[in-house]
């Protein structure tokens, strides 16, 4: 065998045989590369929302008018169409690299789709505008919404925004339209601070119209304190009307002399005291306590809106026709009253309404003493006996009697 390989004609024959085999193999492979199955019909696959790539110098230009997605219809043999449609491993794009600034009409193109497939793109032609790219920073402002729905007396502190500025990159014409950059924070019913709330950034022109631009970052972090300022003020009792006849107001005191008022700092500046609702004195006829509401100003609140007020009245009243007792009448004497003609007097009582409200004539005694007096007319003093805690008097200190 070694001698065969030493023979150059043998080697040439073997090489020729291998060359022929290789040619036959390659020819056979070429004949089988057409993947179309004999008798196979074409099919159509419609692909929605296929993204469109933009090929442009993004450092220098921005483009508008290019749709984000298009509809692509593929037509061809099932064996090629199905895997391509399922994998979507192809590109749909507009190539704008050779175009200058301005308005252009361009076609949407495709790449990496086999020649065996027909491609239909909707829309196929689009109008675009190429503009100079610009970048600018803007301060982020915070707008609180539903601030009127904060609980009574609560107010917001100064918001903290991180970062305080955002960067907008777009065309020069769009950048020049930007008038404000805002974030919105809903504070309805808020009683606790907002700590590190992430909120989206919104960009507007000077008409308040939203601009579709890319802000970096797209969200910022907002924190703000929610305060409930307060101060302690005195309580004043307010009255209206006059007490009924026979009554005098001795004292009127509140169970609490001061209350803590909660309100915004601006509201608190105008509050130096809290008054009660008016107490109508014309309805008061007894000493005691009443529950009365505080007249809390608008925008303020207190922990307890009702307080207890103690009312002390002095009353003057008359007990009429209290009989006069005659003491030390000797045997055989008869005593009659000349002035007054009847044996009774009216007693005027003054004291705390609570002390005199239940007094009657049985609580008093009028006495004249005729000891040692003989027959005839006599003017004698009248003494009064009664409770110690009230003042009392009679209409006359002396009476005229006749002894017979």
Q: Which residues fall within 8 angstroms of residue 8, CB to CB, at 6 or more apart?
A: none
Mean pLDDT taken over the chain: 87
- For the 230-314 domain, the top CATH level (class) is mainly beta
- Return the pLDDT at 331: 85
User: Using CA atoms, how far apart are residues 327 and 401, in angstroms rounded to an integer?
Assistant: 13
Q: How much is the pLDDT for 6?
A: 57
Q: What are the sequence ranges of the domains in the chain? A: 2-32, 42-133, 140-227, 230-314, 316-403
CATH of 316-403 among 2.170.120.30, 3.30.300.30, 3.40.50.1860, 2.130.10.10: 2.170.120.30
- The pLDDT tens digits for 172-226 are 888 999 999 999 999 999 989 999 999 999 999 999 999 988 899 999 999 999 9
What percent of the chain is modeled with pLDDT above 90? Answer: 52
- Name the class of domain 140-227: mainly beta
CA dist list (Å): 247 to 35, 122, 284, 316: 118, 98, 9, 7
Q: What is the pLDDT of residues 241-288, one digit of tens each?
A: 999 988 889 899 999 999 999 998 989 999 999 999 999 999 888 888
Give yes or no on whether 140-227 and 316-403 have one common fold. Answer: yes
In the predicted structure, residue 39 carries a pLDDT above the cut 60: no
User: pLDDT at position 3, please?
Assistant: 55
pLDDT digits (tens, 9 = 90+) for 282-330: 988 888 899 999 999 988 989 899 999 999 998 888 888 899 888 888 8
Q: What is the pTM of this model?
A: 0.52
Predicted confidence band at 341 (pLDDT cuts at 50, 70, 90)?
confident
pLDDT of residue 171: 86
User: Domain spanning 42-133 has what CATH number?
Assistant: 2.170.120.30
């Amino acid at each position: 065998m070694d001698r065969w390989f030493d023979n150059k004609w043998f080697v040439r024959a073997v090489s020729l045989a291998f060359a022929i085999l290789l040619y036959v193999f390659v020819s056979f492979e070429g004949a089988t590369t057409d993947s179309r199955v004999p008798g196979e019909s074409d099919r159509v696959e419609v692909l929605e929302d296929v993204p469109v790539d933009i090929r442009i110098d993004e450092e220098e230009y921005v483009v508008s008018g290019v749709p984000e997605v298009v509809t692509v219809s593929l037509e061809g043999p099932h064996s090629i169409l199905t895997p391509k449609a399922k994998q979507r491993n192809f590109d749909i794009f507009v190539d704008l690299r050779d175009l200058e600034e301005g308005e252009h009409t361009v076609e949407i193109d495709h790449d990496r789709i086999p020649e065996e497939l027909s491609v239909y793109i909707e829309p196929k032609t689009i109008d675009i505008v190429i503009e100079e790219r610009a970048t600018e920073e803007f301060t982020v402002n915070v707008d609180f919404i539903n601030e009127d729905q904060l609980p009574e007396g609560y107010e917001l502190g100064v918001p903290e925004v991180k970062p305080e500025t955002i960067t907008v990159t777009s065309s020069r014409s769009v950048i020049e339209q930007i008038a404000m950059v805002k974030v919105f924070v809903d504070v309805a019913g808020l009683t606790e601070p907002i700590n590190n709330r992430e909120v989206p950034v919104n960009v507007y022109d000077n008409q308040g119209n939203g601009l579709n631009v890319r802000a970096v970052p797209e969200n910022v972090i907002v924190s703000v304190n929610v305060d409930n300022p307060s101060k302690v003020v005195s309580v004043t009792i307010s009255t209206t009307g006059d007490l009924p006849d026979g009554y005098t107001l001795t004292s009127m005191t509140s169970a609490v002399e001061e209350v803590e008022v909660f309100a915004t700092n601006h509201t608190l500046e105008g509050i130096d005291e809290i008054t009660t609702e008016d107490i109508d004195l014309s309805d008061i006829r007894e000493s005691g306590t009443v529950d009365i509401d505080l007249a809390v100003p608008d925008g303020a609140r207190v922990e307890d809106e009702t307080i207890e007020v103690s009312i002390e009245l002095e009353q003057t009243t008359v007990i009429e026709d209290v009989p006069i007792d005659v003491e030390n009448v000797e045997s055989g004497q008869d005593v009659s009253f000349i002035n007054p003609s009847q044996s009774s007097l009216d007693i005027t009582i003054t004291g705390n309404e609570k002390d005199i409200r239940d007094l009657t004539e049985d609580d008093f005694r009028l006495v004249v003493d005729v000891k040692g007096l003989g027959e005839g007319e006599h003017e004698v003093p009248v003494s009064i006996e009664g409770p110690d805690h009230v003042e009392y008097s009679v209409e006359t200190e002396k009476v005229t009697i006749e002894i017979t």
